[in-house]
Amino acid sequence: MDQVVITIARQYGSGGRTIGKMLAKKMGVPYYSSNLLKMASEESGINEQLFMQLDEKLKNSPFLRMSTDVYTGDLIPPESGDFVSAKNLFNYQAKVMKRLAETESCVIIGRAADFVLKDCPNVVSVFVHGSKEFNLARAMEQNSMTEGEMEKFIAKTDKYRAEYYRHYTGRDWTDARNYDLCLNSSKLGFEKCVEEILAYIQVRF
């Protein structure tokens, strides 16, 4: 297969982002995370700040947990009053991800990419998780919070990711059936997680 796209969903502190970067480097392919917002802005003509502001707004809003609006692939036209709605900002991120999946090999972090690209035959979807103790210890290395504050932050972040995922997919973020691979980074370590993903790609394709 010419192109292989790896999507990575991850618990906070599990190292999914680090694993994604390591994997992209080893494969010699691009890595996409927050830079997708800039690309979606260029695709849509919508100011990049609106994409960035939406991320922060959703984290502190009951909007996600109170409703479901499963992604269907439709784009809202510029003449509509909903052109810069949360739904359409997600739609344009999804459009960019679909274009990437059609044209290159890459690693994509978060953004419900596994669902957006579920019908693409060249996609490998991964969920990275770790023990509570492992995730906490790693998060503490990266942030200047007390242990109690960090525990609350992790819980809040993972809750947001689960709500975001359910809102746009109608699915449970932690359901193993959504993914090709579920990897426990607290048992495998980052290098072996990368090896497992590469081994799966080799066997499958």
- For residue range 64-121, list pLDDT tens digits in order: 777 788 999 889 999 998 999 889 999 999 999 999 999 999 999 999 999 999 999 9
Confidence (pLDDT) at 56:
75
Q: Say yes or no to pLDDT of 191 above 70.
A: yes
Q: Say yes or no to pLDDT of 61 above 80.
A: no
Give the Å distances, CA to CA, from 186 to 22, 29, 201: 16, 25, 22
Q: Tokens 């479901």 appear where? A: 68
Residues 137, 202: Cα–Cα separation, whole Å = 33
pLDDT, one tens digit per residue, over 163-186 is: 999 999 999 999 999 999 999 999
Residues 55, 37: Cα–Cα separation, whole Å = 10
Confidence (pLDDT) at 1:
58
% the chain with pLDDT above 90: 85
Residues 92, 37: Cα–Cα separation, whole Å = 9
Q: Tokens 């919508």 appear where? A: 46
Q: What is the mean pLDDT of the chain?
A: 94
